[in-house]
Amino acid sequence: MQMSPGFFQGLKKRFAYDSDLATSGIRGAGAKSQADFGDPITEEDLLWAVEREPVAHRIVFTVAHDIFDNWFTATKVKRTRDTEFDLKVQAVLSKLGAKTVFTQAAVYERLFGWSIIVLGYADYGASLAASVKDPSEIRDLAAYGGSKQVRVLSFDEDQNRNSPRYGLPNFYTLYLSQSSPVKVHYSRVIHFATRLLSHPYMGLSALAPVYDDITVLRNERWGMGQTMHRYGGGFPDIELQGADKRKLDEFEASNQFESLNARNYFLHNEKQKVEFKGLQGQALNPEPYYTPVMENISAGCGIPLAILRGAQAGALTGSDVNEREYFKVISDNQSRFEPGVRQLIDALIETGQIPKVPAYEIEWSGGFEVNQIDRSNIELNKARSLALCENFMKVNELRARMDPPLDPLKSPDDQPDPDGDIIPGLLRLKQAAFSQMVKEVQK
394 with 341, same domain: the answer is no
CA angle 187, 46, 16 (to 5 degrees): 60
334 with 435, same domain: the answer is no
347 with 418, same domain: the answer is no
Q: Is residue 332 part of a domain?
A: yes
Q: What is the length of the chain?
A: 443
Counting Cα atoms < 13 Å in the Cβ hemisphere of 414 gives 0
Q: Is residue 381 part of a domain?
A: no
Q: Is residue 293 part of a domain?
A: no
Q: Is residue 229 part of a domain?
A: no
Per DSSP (E only), the strands in 22-170 are 23-27, 40-42, 72-76, 115-122, 137-144, 150-151
Q: Is residue 313 part of a domain?
A: no
What domain count does the chain have?
2
pTM of the complete model: 0.68
> Domain range spanning residue 415?
387-442
344 with 393, same domain: the answer is no
95 with 136, same domain: the answer is yes
136 with 196, same domain: the answer is yes
Please provide residue 233's backbone torsions phi and psi, each rounded to the nearest 5 degrees. Answer: -95, -5
Of residues 323, 56, 294, 290, the one with CA closest to residue 315 = 323
Give me the amino acid identity at 198.
S
Angle in degrees, 0-180, between the axes of helices 287-301 and 211-227, rounded to the nearest 10: 150
pLDDT in tens, 245-289: 888 788 778 776 666 555 566 667 776 665 555 444 456 677 787
191 with 113, same domain: the answer is yes
Q: Is residue 436 part of a domain?
A: yes
Question: Quick check: 389 and 401 in contact, CB under 8 A?
Answer: yes
pLDDT in tens, 156-196: 999 999 999 999 999 999 998 777 899 999 999 999 999 99
358 with 395, same domain: the answer is no
pLDDT in tens, 293-350: 888 888 888 888 888 887 544 444 446 778 888 888 898 899 999 999 999 999 999 9
Q: Is residue 165 part of a domain?
A: yes
pLDDT in tens, 387-443: 888 888 888 888 888 877 888 888 888 888 888 888 888 888 888 877 888 788 877
Tell me the C-alpha distance between 202 and 181, whole Å. Answer: 20
Q: Which residues contact 102 (CB under 8 A, 6 or more apart)?
A: 68, 117, 143, 337, 340, 341
Q: Is residue 260 part of a domain?
A: no
84 with 131, same domain: the answer is yes
238 forms bridges with which residues in the sheet?
267
111 with 188, same domain: the answer is yes
